[in-house]
Every structure is written in C-alpha cells, then in structure tokens.
Amino acid sequence: MKRLLLLRHAKAVAEDASGLDHERALAPRGCEDATRLGEWIVRQGLIPHFIMSSSSRRTVDTLRLVGSAFGHSPLVMIRRRLYMCHETDYPPLLQEAPSDCELLLVVGHNEGLQEYLTRLTGTGRAVPTCTLAVVELPISEWPEMTLAVRGKLVQLVTPDDLDPK
C-alpha cells in the first residue's frame, strides 16, 4: 500500500497588474501556515520519500517552508505540468514516482487538486490554501495509478487544525 500526500500551496498574495500568476509570492500568513504544517508533518511521522511540485513560485516556496522542518531533503521533482493541471493529469504524473517511494507528497493548485482528491476518495471536501490530504492507496507500485484507482482519505488538515504558534 502506498500513501499520497496532496498539498495545496499556502496563501499567496493577490494577483497584481502584471498578471503573472505563475510568479505570485506567498503572503505572510501563507509563510506561517506552511512552516506550521511542516512541523505537523514531522510530528505525525509523515516525512515524504519523494516530492513532486508545481513550478509556480508559490508552490515552490510552500515546499521550501514545509520541508525546512524535515531535517533532510527528500528528492524533489519540479513539474511545470502540475501548474494548474486538471484532475485527469494527476495519475500519469504519479506514475513517475520512484518505485521505492512509499510516501509521495504532491504540491499543487486548485481547482484540479481538489477535484482529483474528490475523484480519488469520493469525498467532496474543500481544500483551502495550505491544506494537506493524507490518502492511502490500494496499489503496490506507482505505475498502477489510474483514474480508476480509489483511495481512502485518512486525514484532511487545514491551517485552522494546526497548533497556533
């Protein structure tokens, strides 16, 4: 059985007049939330073996802050294809995870991430910024991931669920 962590990037600043959505930075609250989430991940023993992240600035910065709590650097793959991808784009990306990876973290965006979580688990849960979904998958190898695979939502953690600093 594999486990998947789906993380929506932390809160970003509003889009400015330049319209460069890909380059939006994290808001101060997003930085705080990402740091607290990283600490929570460590306390729960959920440090990933491999990470895939969208190439946007806000996802990479979220990953940097979350990962600063890990104590080591898991292998990270930055994928432009994860930037605003559709729910059906997730399984082919997940198939690229290394075979020895038991716990995969994917950092992405809504709406696609929330829609994929709904398809994967059958739940219609909202995924606010800096929310982490922990999903157990009934597969033994990542190439088995298809749109037909259904997982079990073990936990959905929002910034409001984390201990205040």
d(CA 78, CA 98): 14
43-82 residue pLDDT tens = 999 999 999 999 999 999 999 999 999 988 888 999 999 9
Task: Note the pTM of the prediction, 2 decimals.
Answer: 0.94
pLDDT at 23: 81
pLDDT at 16: 64
Query: What is the rounded average pLDDT for all residues in the chain?
Result: 93
CATH number of 2-161: 3.40.50.1240
1-53 residue pLDDT tens = 999 999 999 999 887 656 687 888 999 999 999 999 999 999 999 999 999 99
Contact 42, 71 (CB under 8 A): yes
pLDDT at 38: 97
Each as own residue / partner, the long-range contacts of residues 16-23 (CB below 8 Å, 24 or more positions apart, any chain) are 21/56, 22/55, 22/56, 22/57, 22/83, 23/56, 23/57
